[in-house]
Chains A and B, each alone.
Chain A
Amino acid sequence: MPTLEIHDLHVSVETKEGPKPILRGVDLTIDSGQTHAIMGPNGSGKSTLAYSLAGHPKYQITQGTVTLDGEDLLAMTVDERARAGLFLAMQYPVEVPGVSVSNFLRTAKTAIDGEAPKLRHWVKDVKVAMEQLRMDNAFAERSVNEGFSGGEKKRHEILQLELLKPKFAVLDETDSGLDVDALRVVSEGVNRVKESTDAGILLITHYTRILRYIKPDFVHVFVGGRIAEEGGPELADRLEDEGYDRYLEGAGAATV
């Protein structure tokens, strides 16, 4: 059974004043089929974890290991990680002018699978997935993320998740900037992926509201670049009532 295993991960980001440590020893193991929520206040390093797993060049791994199916993820290039089965739904998807969504999706699918998808099935798969995410047909001919609203960008990320069928998906604040309807549509998409592919999900969020739609098996509270507390879904309920203050008081001095 595929496992994403993060062990003692330390990550720094380059600044004018020199490297600044962000992650300070993250341990996390996700089995396929599981949904883990990472919750934490702004600046706690949640997005750094997401981008470090995907291999963004801005982040330097200074210590620790990450393996996917036992393979060393950190030794792989960005595209190799994706082909190994890791997907990152980004908080701020990037515009690619002149490249249509349909061309982009087909190119990505071909790269992930190692062969071009069978045209007839592919066209139907894309159409069905777009309908389920309440995306207009005309969307396929628009340039990737160019002029998309916040909600359209997030739907487009989940559309890719549904079509590329990764082993593990990291969703980086996919709920931010979504109204209630869009949040429900996007959450339904994630749940379809969970049911149909048995993917492991790492759901990064600041707020608990997405957890009403996507039920986590485990909740991790992220503070000051490491996991401060772990528990089941009930931990999310407690965070909703109490907020993050309890953790910040303890960790405040260390994070500034």
Chain B
Amino acid sequence: MTTASTTEFTAASADEAAAFGDEGPQGIVTDHSRATADGAHTHGVGGKPQGSRAERLTSFDLADIPVPSGREEEWRFSPVARLTPLFDEDLAGSGVITTVVDAPEVEVEIVARDDERVGTAGRPGDRAAVVAWHAAKEATLVTVPEGATASEVTSIRVEGTSSDATAAHVVLHARPNSKAVIVLDHVGTATLTQTVEVVVDEGADLTVVSVQDWDAGAVHASSHRARIGKDAKLKHVVVTFGGDVVRVTPDAEFTAEGGEVEMVGLYFADTDQHQEHRLFVDHAVPACKSRVTYKGALQGEGAHTVWVGDVLIRAAAEATDTYELNRNLVLTDGARADSVPNLEIETGEIEGAGHASATGRFDDEQLFYLQARGIPEVDARRLVVRGFFAELIHEIGVPEVEERLLASIESELAKSMSVIEGTA
């Protein structure tokens, strides 16, 4: 049982049903059965073989991370040409306005980047992230004081006002034994590279929701870097609806035992939208727990979503408990979902590790069943899609956000129904 082994699973496709709770002899579960392969689903083959995620270069130095060509592992699914403005050394634009409506218990400051409270969570891991670090000279720092429980949601609104490439930096810091919900909203249009640092100190319980609801034309790269302390809990929610290109890369790193992270994502891509979510959960210390659940729907020609979930269980991280799931629902022809879970396990002494990914088209049998009860096709499709997202939305646990999401899904569905009905 103590044999250290490295097992890397790249691009598996599995059904979630069997994957968890039915642990193998080493407590490792990676269900690769029932792989589904249709035109809308890649298995991640054909690219360059990836080394351990631990070897990925991270740096605060621009010179260390060159402008990508698009062939790099971390860029191979991305429309790099569209993101190029975010790779320049000097981003001069001041294209976003950040407004914070804070809970009374929460402190908000604008601080210089050299403030010691900035730059403590992780390091930039790609060109857009290192540019964001350099170009943003100030950061919006939101602090939940030690022992405080925020009585209201703190809302940070990032509004894009021009298409000039620009950078922004937000630090969300929950001090020991505090509790808060912080919602980041992205609206308007912008060409933005962004850093969102999330620091959750010992015993704190923080929920962060980042909603990308940009207008058409927006290009957004966002490096979320979370540091989770002893017995701390982070719920990290990413919701992507709007914008032309949105690429969010949440990293979560445990620094002490007993940490827990729940990462939830929901996305809905329309015609020609590119929505990419690349996650990395780094289990470097023992006895931490991570859960990742991302679900997306796609509709329209050229709609493209990418989900990459990297989980690394380092040799020291005994008693780790991790599971990640991605599901995609392809509503129309011409859309493409890439889904790549990667699990690296360097110790056998764990509680459990599993992942699952499934990409499917609309289930005709579900439609038949609902229609056979008199429900018209359009309404039946709505029911199925709402059902697909329903559980995930309820997991968010922030009623204001849940209601908004349900409304956003309704308006997305109105678009797809017009496609189906031919009234578009």
Enumerate chain A residues within 8 angstroms of B369, measured Cβ to Cβ: 90, 93-94, 96
Q: A111 in the interface, Cβ–Cβ < 8 Å?
A: yes
Evaluate contact between B368 and A98: CB separation under 8 angstroms.
no
Enumerate chain A residues within 8 angstroms of B377, measured Cβ to Cβ: 77, 79
Q: How far does the Cβ of B186 sit from chain A's closest Cβ, in whole Å?
A: 27
B374: which of A57, A99, A111 is its contact (CB, 8 Å)?
A: A111
Enumerate chain A residues within 8 angstroms of B374, measured Cβ to Cβ: 79, 82-83, 108, 111-112, 164
Evaluate contact between A54 and B372: CB separation under 8 angstroms.
yes
**Inter-chain CB contacts under 8 Å: number:** 81
Q: From B75-83, B139-147, B284-292, B380-388, give the one contacting chain A.
A: B380-388
Enumerate chain B residues within 8 angstroms of A42, measured Cβ to Cβ: none
Enumerate chain B residues within 8 angstroms of A107, measured Cβ to Cβ: 373, 375, 379, 383
Evaluate contact between A79 and B387: CB separation under 8 angstroms.
no
Q: How far does the Cβ of A96 sit from chain B's closest Cβ, in whole Å?
A: 5
Q: A78 in the interface, Cβ–Cβ < 8 Å?
A: yes
Enumerate chain B residues within 8 angstroms of A56, measured Cβ to Cβ: 368
A98: which of B365, B372, B373, B389 is its contact (CB, 8 Å)?
A: B389
B375: which of A94, A97, A111 is its contact (CB, 8 Å)?
A: A111
Evaluate contact between A82 and B373: CB separation under 8 angstroms.
yes
Q: A104 in the interface, Cβ–Cβ < 8 Å?
A: yes
Q: B150 in the interface, Cβ–Cβ < 8 Å?
A: no
Task: Annotate A78-91 by CB proximity to B: 1 below 8 A, 0 otherwise.
Answer: 11011100011010
Q: B391 in the interface, Cβ–Cβ < 8 Å?
A: yes
Interface size for B (C-beta < 8 A) is: 24
Q: How far does the Cβ of B256 sit from chain A's closest Cβ, in whole Å?
A: 36
Main secondary structure of the interface of B (DSSP, over half): helix
When chains A and B are docked, how far (Å) is the Cα of A143 from the Cα of B372?
18
Who on chain B is nearest to A114 by CB?
B374
When chains A and B are docked, how far (Å) is the Cα of A107 from the Cα of B334?
31
Who on chain A is nearest to B380 by CB?
A79
Task: List residues of A (12-57) whose CB comes within 8 Å of B's CBs.
Answer: 54-57
Enumerate chain A residues within 8 angstroms of B375, measured Cβ to Cβ: 79, 82, 107-108, 111
Enumerate chain B residues within 8 angstroms of A97, measured Cβ to Cβ: 387-388, 391
> Which of A82, A96, A97 has the most B CB atoms < 10 Å from its CB?
A96
Enumerate chain A residues within 8 angstroms of B371, measured Cβ to Cβ: 55, 77-79, 82
Task: Annotate B380-414 by CB proximity to A: 1 below 8 A, 0 otherwise.
Answer: 10011011111100000000000000000000000
Q: B376 in the interface, Cβ–Cβ < 8 Å?
A: yes
Evaluate contact between B368 and A57: CB separation under 8 angstroms.
yes
Q: A160 in the interface, Cβ–Cβ < 8 Å?
A: yes
Q: How far does the Cβ of B28 sit from chain A's closest Cβ, in whole Å?
A: 26
When chains A and B are docked, how far (Å) is the Cα of A45 from the Cα of B266?
44
Enumerate chain B residues within 8 angstroms of A88, measured Cβ to Cβ: 372
Evaluate contact between B368 and A96: CB separation under 8 angstroms.
no
> Which of B375, B386, B389 has the most A CB atoms < 10 Å from its CB?
B375
A160-B368 CB under 8 A given contacts A99-B384, A107-B379: no
A94-B373 CB under 8 A given contacts A99-B384, A99-B387, A107-B383: no
A98-B390 CB under 8 A given contacts A107-B383, A111-B374, A160-B373: yes
Task: List residues of B (44-72) whose CB comes within 8 Å of A's CBs.
Answer: none
Enumerate chain B residues within 8 angstroms of A164, measured Cβ to Cβ: 373-374
Enumerate chain B residues within 8 angstroms of A54, measured Cβ to Cβ: 368, 372
Q: B84 in the interface, Cβ–Cβ < 8 Å?
A: no
Q: B364 in the interface, Cβ–Cβ < 8 Å?
A: yes
When chains A and B are docked, how far (Å) is the Cα of A63 from the Cα of B374?
25
When chains A and B are docked, how far (Å) is the Cα of A41 from the Cα of B391?
42
When chains A and B are docked, how far (Å) is the Cα of A127 from the Cα of B351?
43
Q: B370 in the interface, Cβ–Cβ < 8 Å?
A: yes
Evaluate contact between A98 and B387: CB separation under 8 angstroms.
yes
Q: B99 in the interface, Cβ–Cβ < 8 Å?
A: no
Enumerate chain B residues within 8 angstroms of A112, measured Cβ to Cβ: 373-374
When chains A and B are docked, how far (Å) is the Cα of A82 from the Cα of B375?
8
Enumerate chain A residues within 8 angstroms of B366, measured Cβ to Cβ: 94-96
Enumerate chain B residues within 8 angstroms of A94, measured Cβ to Cβ: 363, 365-366, 368-369
Enumerate chain B residues within 8 angstroms of A111, measured Cβ to Cβ: 373-376, 379
Evaluate contact between B368 and A78: CB separation under 8 angstroms.
yes
When chains A and B are docked, how far (Å) is the Cα of A57 from the Cα of B391?
30
A98-B379 CB under 8 A given contacts A90-B369, A111-B373: no
Task: Annotate B344-375 by CB proximity to A: 1 below 8 A, 0 otherwise.
Answer: 00000000000000000001111011111111
Enumerate chain A residues within 8 angstroms of B391, measured Cβ to Cβ: 97-98
When chains A and B are docked, how far (Å) is the Cα of A108 from the Cα of B363?
19
Enumerate chain A residues within 8 angstroms of B386, measured Cβ to Cβ: 98-99
Q: How far does the Cβ of B356 sit from chain A's closest Cβ, in whole Å?
A: 14
When chains A and B are docked, how far (Å) is the Cα of A82 from the Cα of B377?
12
When chains A and B are docked, how far (Å) is the Cα of A18 from the Cα of B36?
26
Evaluate contact between A98 and B388: CB separation under 8 angstroms.
yes
Q: How far does the Cβ of B413 sit from chain A's closest Cβ, in whole Å?
A: 14
Enumerate chain B residues within 8 angstroms of A81, measured Cβ to Cβ: 372
When chains A and B are docked, how far (Å) is the Cα of A88 from the Cα of B380?
17
Who on chain B is nearest to A92 by CB?
B365
Enumerate chain A interface residues (CB-CB to B < 8 A): 54-57, 77-79, 81-83, 87-88, 90, 93-99, 103-104, 107-108, 111-112, 143, 160, 164
Enumerate chain B interface residues (CB-CB to A < 8 A): 363-366, 368-377, 379-380, 383-384, 386-391
Known: A87-B372, A93-B369, A96-B384. 20 other contacts (CB 8 A): A57-B368, A77-B371, A78-B371, A79-B371, A79-B375, A79-B376, A82-B373, A82-B375, A83-B374, A90-B372, A94-B369, A97-B387, A98-B387, A98-B388, A99-B386, A99-B390, A107-B379, A108-B374, A111-B379, A143-B387
Q: List 13 A-B contacts (CB under 8 A).
A: A54-B368, A55-B372, A77-B371, A79-B372, A79-B374, A94-B368, A96-B370, A96-B387, A98-B388, A98-B391, A104-B383, A108-B375, A111-B374
Q: What 6 A-B pairs come out closest when comparing CB atoms?
A: A98-B387, A82-B374, A98-B390, A108-B373, A78-B371, A111-B374
